[in-house]
Structures are given as structure tokens and as C-alpha cells.
């Protein structure tokens, strides 16, 4: 396996692109959301790799190594020696199409020796919970499914996913990795603190929350935000919701707000808010967020073989809410992940509207407000 990573600031000359084009080459591109209006840099990359499998999406910040940038491209080029690839795309124009999109992509990629799937999805038109449910309905738990939802800073206006070298909205992409030589590991951790009373979800529909404890959800949420309520939905990223099925359930899934509806006093989240679940607010703790990122790296490292061959590509997908909270300290979580992975690891990634990975083992889940890592190497 040959691996090269590069970064490109939009408006500057494009750096030399590694000559690794082949049908066994995976090219991953993360970039600013406004590149949908000026895709020339993306087109340059696509033209350099006509045989390769090209995937990518818009971001709320591009990760390259231990640094974060805006208005740039973070690019990874992987040429495999023993691993084969397949890419698939599905349109999603509304959230209720998400499950069918996940099923269709999984069916298209479900071939012998499938080891893992990297999913990059539109960040606004997709219900991430339904998308992963579609994948889980088709693929066995032994297939590692990871990825994330595209971002648009804190604007929540439009996102894009690459399809045939073009940045397009309303698209979900997936690339399958096949063979006995590819090694895929993952880790996903949060680091938020729970506070306030645990409330019952008394009215919801899919990813739209209407009532908590019989009271309008948005009204209740605003009481906690105080003056910050004027900045919704962006300020809601600072206070995600933790969900669990009941008092005995130790598995908590975190959900982030994508939009608010003043008329209905409702809130739309990146994933499902099941009626009857228990919900509790969360808030940030700087050190615990960085520790969470380190925990994701440790989780991935524990899954790797004892002697992992270099090079290793790590795809880091972290929630935009973490970036807003960490502020100038945001690169500390990127340093934490790289510092715990083997020498020779190259890191690219993006700040997202949702992260996809198994909670522990088995089928994948949609997460919010986590650092999620996927490592790819080849024996």
C-alpha cells in the first residue's frame, strides 16, 4: 500500500499530485462547503486520477495532520496492492428517503470479501439514524461501516458530496474495501458531561422532537440556553442531548440539533429521537473532550494487529460542536489522536454534522459530538 496526503489552500497553486492513479486507488477529498460554487480545484484532482475511486464531502473545517483549516482541501491518496474497491452513490432529497438510500448502497456493495465501508453523506437532507439502519439491515456486523455527515460550518445551509468528480447536494456516497489484506479499525468517543434532569421524550417523529415531559421542546431548550437562544440552531451545538432507552440502559447516543421550527416549537436533529426514550442535556468540559479524542485513538489502536505495517491512513471525523466549544484549543484533540497511533500514521478528516461508527462492536450507529476515527492499512 502506498499513501500520500496533501493540503491545498484555495486560491493558491495546487501542489504536485502523487502519481498513484489506478483502479486500486482511493482518493479522499474534504473541502469547504463553498467549493460547490467554485469546484476548479476538485476538478483538477479528479482529472489527475481518472481510474481511481474518488470520494469526499464538504466540512465545518478540514483536518490535515494535527492542524485544522478553512477554505482548503485535505486530500488522501491510497494505492492498494492487494485490496479491491467499489464505489456507490444514492440520491437523497428528503430525510424519509434515508433508509432506502442506506439499503440500496449496502446491496450494491455487498459482495464476497467485503471488509469495510466508508460512508460520506449529505449533512442536511439525511436522517443519519435511518441511513445507518438501512446499512445494518443488509450488511452483517462483521463489516465495519464508518463515516460521517458533510458539514457547512455553523451555517446549516448546504453541504456537498462528491459524485463522479462533482460536488453535489443531496447525495450519499459509499466505498467498499474488499480482501483479506486490508485492515480497518475504528474508535468513537465523546467526552461531554451530562447535567440537569432526565426528561421523557413524550412526542417525536423520526428526527423531529416536539415535546419533553409534555412541554414544547424548543421552549424548554431555550430556558437552558438563556441569551444564547438567539443564536439557534448554531448555539445548540454547545448543548447536545444524550438519549437512552430506559433507566437500565447504559448505552447513551448523543444527538445534535440541525434546525429549529419556531411555529411548531420543534427541533430537528441529525438522527432519530425515539418517542419514549429518556433525554438529558450535555455540556462541554475542555479536558474531557480532548480525553475523548484520545480514547477514540486508543480504541482504534487496540483493534489493530500487533505489528501494523506502515503506512496507516487515519480518517478523523469530529463534530462541529466540538470545534465550537474547543475554540483555539481544537487542535489539541487532533494532536491527541495522532500521538497515540503508530509512527507512520497520516491523518486527514473533517468537522461534521454527524459521525458513523459502531458504538462498541457490531453494527454501526449514528453519533453526534464525538471524535470518530477510522484507520486503514494493508498487510
* Predicted local distance difference test score (pLDDT) of residue 31: 98
CA distances, 54 to each of 14, 85, 163, 276, 278 (Å): 18, 11, 8, 41, 40
Exposure string over 211-241, b if 16+ CB within 10 A, otherwise e: bbeeebbbebbbeebeeebeebbbbbbbbbb
Examine residue 30 and say whether the peptide bond preceding it is cis (omega within 30 degrees of 0).
no
User: Residue 307 — pLDDT band, cuts 50, 70, 90?
Assistant: low
Cβ 39 vs Cβ 167: under 8 Å: yes
- pLDDT tens-digit profile of 266-290? 999 888 999 999 999 998 778 989 9
**Residue 112 pLDDT > 70, yes or no?**
yes
Question: Alpha carbon of 112 to those of 107, 109, 259, 289, 364: distances in Å?
Answer: 12, 9, 40, 39, 20
Which tens digits make up the pLDDT trace of 327-366?
999 999 999 999 999 988 999 999 999 999 998 788 999 9
Q: What is the spatial order of strands in the sheet that 371-378 belongs to?
A: 67-69, 62-64, 345-352, 312-319, 371-378, 182-189
For strands 25-32 and 53-59, give the pairing: parallel
Residue 305: pLDDT band (50, 70, 90) is low
* Cell 467526552, residue located: 191
Residue 306, CA distances (Å) to 98, 337, 342, 343, 345 in order: 38, 18, 11, 13, 15
Question: In the chain, helix, strand, coil percent, each to 5?
Answer: 25, 40, 35
Closest Cα to residue 148, out of 316, 322, 345, 360?
316
C-beta neighbour count of 121 within 10 angstroms:
32
Q: Give the model's pLDDT for residue 144.
A: 97
- Say if residue 121's pLDDT is above 90: yes
Percent of the chain with pLDDT over 90: 80
Other CB atoms within a 10 A radius of the CB of residue 7 amount to: 17
- Model confidence pLDDT, tens digit, residues 28-71: 999 999 999 999 999 999 999 999 999 999 999 999 999 999 99
Instruction: Answer whether 130's CB lies under 8 Å from 102's CB.
Output: yes
pLDDT at 308 > cutoff 80:
no
CA 205 to chain centre: 23
pLDDT at residue 306, as a whole number = 65
3 state DSSP class of 224:
helix
- Contact, 139 vs 52, CB < 8 A? no
Cell numbers 471488509 correspond to 115
323 neighbors 60 (Cβ within 8 angstroms): yes
Residue 280, strand partner residues: 242
pLDDT tens across 257-268, in order?
888 999 999 999
pLDDT in tens, 366-377: 998 899 999 999
User: At 31, phi and psi to the nearest 5?
Assistant: -155, 175
pLDDT at 321: 87
pLDDT above 80 for 309: no
**Mean pLDDT calculated for residue range 127-132:** 94
pTM, full prediction = 0.90
Q: What is the mean pLDDT of residues 205-228?
A: 92
As a whole number of angstroms, the distance between CA 55 and CA 161 comes to 8
Amino acid at each position: 500500500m502506498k499513501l500520500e496526503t496533501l493540503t491545498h489552500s484555495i486560491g493558491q497553486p495546487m501542489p504536485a499530485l502523487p502519481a498513484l492513479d489506478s483502479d486500486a486507488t482511493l482518493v479522499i477529498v474534504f473541502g469547504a462547503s463553498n467549493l460547490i460554487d467554485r469546484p476548479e480545484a476538485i476538478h483538477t484532482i479528479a482529472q489527475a486520477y481518472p481510474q481511481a475511486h474518488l470520494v469526499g464531502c464538504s466540512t465545518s473545517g478540514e483536518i490535515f495532520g494535527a492542524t485544522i483549516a478553512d477554505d482548503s482541501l485535505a486530500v488522501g491518496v491510497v494505492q492498494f496492492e492487494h485490496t479491491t474497491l467499489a464505489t456507490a452513490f444514492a440520491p437523497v432529497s428528503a430525510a424519509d428517503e434515508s433508509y432506502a438510500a442506506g439499503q440500496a448502497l449496502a446491496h450494491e456493495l455487498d459482495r464476497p470479501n467485503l471488509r469495510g465501508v466508508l460512508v460520506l453523506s449529505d449533512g442536511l437532507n439525511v436522517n443519519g439514524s435511518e441511513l445507518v439502519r438501512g446499512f445494518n439491515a443488509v450488511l452483517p456486523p462483521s463489516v465495519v461501516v464508518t463515516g460521517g455527515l458533510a458539514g457547512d460550518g455553523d451555517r446549516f445551509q448546504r453541504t456537498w458530496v462528491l459524485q463522479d468528480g462533482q460536488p453535489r447536494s443531496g447525495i450519499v456516497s459509499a466505498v467498499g474495501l474488499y480482501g483479506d489484506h486490508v485492515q480497518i479499525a475504528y474508535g468513537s468517543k465523546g467526552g461531554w458531561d451530562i447535567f440537569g434532569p432526565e426528561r421523557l421524550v413524550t412526542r417525536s417523529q423520526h428526527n423531529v422532537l416536539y415535546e419533553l415531559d409534555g412541554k414544547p421542546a424548543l421552549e424548554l431548550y431555550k430556558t437552558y440556553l438563556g441569551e444564547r437562544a438567539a443564536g439557534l440552531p448554531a448555539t445548540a451545538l454547545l448543548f447536545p442531548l444524550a438519549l437512552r432507552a430506559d433507566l437500565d440502559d447504559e448505552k447513551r447516543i448523543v444527538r445534535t440539533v440541525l434546525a429549529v421550527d419556531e411555529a411548531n416549537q420543534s427541533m430537528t436533529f441529525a438522527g432519530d429521537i425515539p418517542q419514549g426514550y429518556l433525554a438529558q442535556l450535555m455540556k462541554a468540559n475542555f479536558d474531557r473532550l480532548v480525553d475523548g479524542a484520545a480514547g477514540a485513538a486508543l480504541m482504534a489502536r487496540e483493534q489493530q494487529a500487533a505489528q501494523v505495517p506502515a503506512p496507516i491512513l487515519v480518517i478523523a471525523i469530529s463534530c462541529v460542536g466540538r470545534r465550537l466549544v474547543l475554540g483555539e484549543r481544537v487542535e489539541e484533540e487532533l494532536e491527541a489522536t495522532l500521538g497515540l497511533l503508530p509512527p507512520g500514521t497520516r491523518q486527514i478528516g473533517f468537522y461534521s454534522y454527524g459521525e458513523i461508527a459502531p458504538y462498541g462492536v457490531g453494527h454501526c450507529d449514528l453519533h453526534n459530538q464525538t471524535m470518530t476515527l477510522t484507520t486503514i492499512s494493508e498487510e
